[in-house]
Each structure stands twice: as structure tokens, then as C-alpha cells.
């Protein structure tokens, strides 16, 4: 894929072709070797025998014991597994705004060099740590936020910024337009199936929070495809 050169709706077609789960299962025989490796690396992190592994530390109220490089490894696993062919380098920064769970910003190094997406995550989380096995609610919420931001990164890196039709399919509701919603729902279902955790990309919440910015009114079929059918 060429950065900044794809219509956002067609980018959704690419993801749907890869992750259409109408059959109720995923054919792992179609995975590339790198996808299989990315899944194995994520599972190794999830089941790390270390007394204080990364996914345990992700469940703490503050992330003072988490190295940003550990989060970059998770982002890299998500990207390689769910967006094969979309080559991105990640940088990470902590956010200080208590009202922002995460964000993503695209940049290019000078002279058409590396494509970099800077992902931010708030280091504080107030949720009461109800248990998921093997993660608590805070850790799962942070993984959801990281996956949510990787979907943003996919569009920021590869969608055309000049075509108004493509841009509006992404930028509606502060970056959560119909192209983003479609891909986020597909990836959410795929991630839950492939990685065995209850992922939520929170597309409905994104529309609710940015309701005043909504320009495109989705159809009933789209709401069902986006996991918003109630």
C-alpha cells in the first residue's frame, strides 16, 4: 500500500475482504507468516510467566511501571495482524488530558522517509478493576484504546487527504466517520475471535461523544454492520 493514496471506502473493502466473519469463523490458512508471528507474539505477552507481566501492569490505576516500548510492541502486533501490508512505525507518548483516553497523529520523516504514527495514551484510568480472565477491566479498556487508535492510524497513514469524498468518510464525527466505523467493527470482531479477548473499539461511544459533529446519517444496515443494532 502507498501512503496517502487510497480512497477510505476502498480501504474498508480491503479489510472486509480479509476479515469478513459471516461464516462465524476465521480461516487461519489464509494468514501470512507475519500475521501468525504477530499473533504468537501477542499471546506470549498475554501469557508471560513473569511475576509482573505487561498485561498485569496495564491493569494498574497509573501506568508508571509500563515502558512505552512495551506498548509499541502491542501496537505493532495489532498492525501486522489486522492490517497486513500497511507498514507503519509507531512512536508513543503519554497524554496529560484527563478527558482523552488516546489519540494518534501521522507524520512523515523528511524527504519521504519513514511513515510514523505517534500514538498517545492516558496513563490514568479510573475504572474499577472488575475481572476478565486473564485481564482486569482497566487493562482491557487500555487494549481497546490501543486497537481503536491503530484503526485511526490505518486511515491517517494510507487514506487520500486530497479527495473530499474519501476525507469525509473518515473525518466525520472527529475522525470516526463511516469508513472508520466499518473497519473498526470488522477489526473488533476479528480481534475477539483471533486473540480470545472481549475487544470493543467503542464506535457507538465515539458517535455519541461527537454527536454535534455528525454530518452523515448512517442507514439501518450500516448500524447493524457497525455493531450498533442494540
Place of cell 502507498: 2
Residue 134, pLDDT > 80, answer no
Tell me the mean pLDDT in the region 192-214: 78
The Cα 10–Cα 159 span in angstroms is: 9
The Cα 213–Cα 211 span in angstroms is: 5
CA dihedral for 74, 131, 182, 81, sign (positive or negative) = positive
- Each residue of 63-80: pLDDT tens digit? 888 999 999 999 999 999
Burial of 168 (0-12, 13-18, 19+ CB in 10 A): middle
- Each residue of 13-38: pLDDT tens digit? 888 888 866 655 777 778 899 999 99
- Each residue of 1-18: pLDDT tens digit? 777 788 888 898 888 888
- For residue 132, what is the enclosing H or E element? none
For 27, the grid coordinates are: 480461516
Q: Which residue has the higher pLDDT, 217 or 181?
A: 181
Closest CA to 108 of 99, 98, 118, 100: 118
CA dihedral for 204, 138, 90, 32, sign (positive or negative) = negative
Q: Which residue has the higher pLDDT, 105 or 211?
A: 105
Q: Does the pTM exceed 0.85?
A: yes
Q: Kindly indicate the confidence band of residue 230, based on its pLDDT and cuts at 50, 70 and 90.
A: very low
Mean pLDDT of the chain: 83
pLDDT of 211 reads 60
The Cα 212–Cα 156 span in angstroms is: 22
Query: For the chain, what percent of residues have pLDDT higher than 90?
Result: 33
- Find all residues with CB under 8 Å of 95, minimum gap 6, and list them: 102, 103, 120, 121, 122, 123
For 165, the grid coordinates are: 469524498
Residue 204, pLDDT > 70, answer no
Tell me the mean pLDDT in the region 173-187: 85
Amino acid at each position: 500500500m502507498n501512503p496517502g493514496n487510497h480512497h477510505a471506502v476502498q480501504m474498508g473493502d480491503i479489510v472486509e475482504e480479509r476479515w469478513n466473519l459471516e461464516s462465524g469463523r476465521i480461516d487461519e490458512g489464509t494468514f501470512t507468516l507475519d500475521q501468525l508471528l504477530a499473533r504468537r507474539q501477542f499471546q506470549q505477552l498475554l501469557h508471560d510467566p513473569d511475576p509482573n507481566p505487561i498485561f498485569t501492569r496495564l491493569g494498574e490505576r497509573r501506568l508508571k511501571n509500563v515502558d512505552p516500548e512495551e506498548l509499541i510492541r502491542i501496537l505493532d502486533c495489532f498492525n501486522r495482524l489486522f492490517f497486513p501490508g500497511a507498514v507503519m512505525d509507531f512512536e508513543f507518548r503519554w497524554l496529560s488530558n484527563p478527558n482523552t483516553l488516546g489519540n494518534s497523529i501521522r507524520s512523515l520523516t523528511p524527504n519521504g522517509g519513514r511513515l510514523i504514527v505517534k500514538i498517545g495514551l492516558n496513563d490514568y484510568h479510573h475504572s474499577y478493576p472488575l475481572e476478565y480472565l486473564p485481564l482486569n477491566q482497566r487493562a482491557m479498556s487500555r487494549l481497546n484504546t490501543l486497537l481503536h487508535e491503530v484503526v485511526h492510524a490505518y486511515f491517517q497513514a494510507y487514506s487520500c487527504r486530497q479527495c473530499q469524498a474519501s476525507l469525509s468518510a473518515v473525518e466525520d464525527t472527529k475522525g470516526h466517520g463511516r469508513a472508520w466505523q466499518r473497519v473498526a467493527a470488522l477489526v473488533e470482531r476479528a480481534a475477539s475471535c483471533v486473540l480470545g479477548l472481549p475487544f470493543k473499539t467503542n464506535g457507538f461511544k465515539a458517535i455519541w461523544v461527537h454527536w454535534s459533529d455528525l454530518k452523515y446519517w448512517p442507514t439501518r444496515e450500516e448500524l447493524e454492520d457497525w455493531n450498533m443494532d442494540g
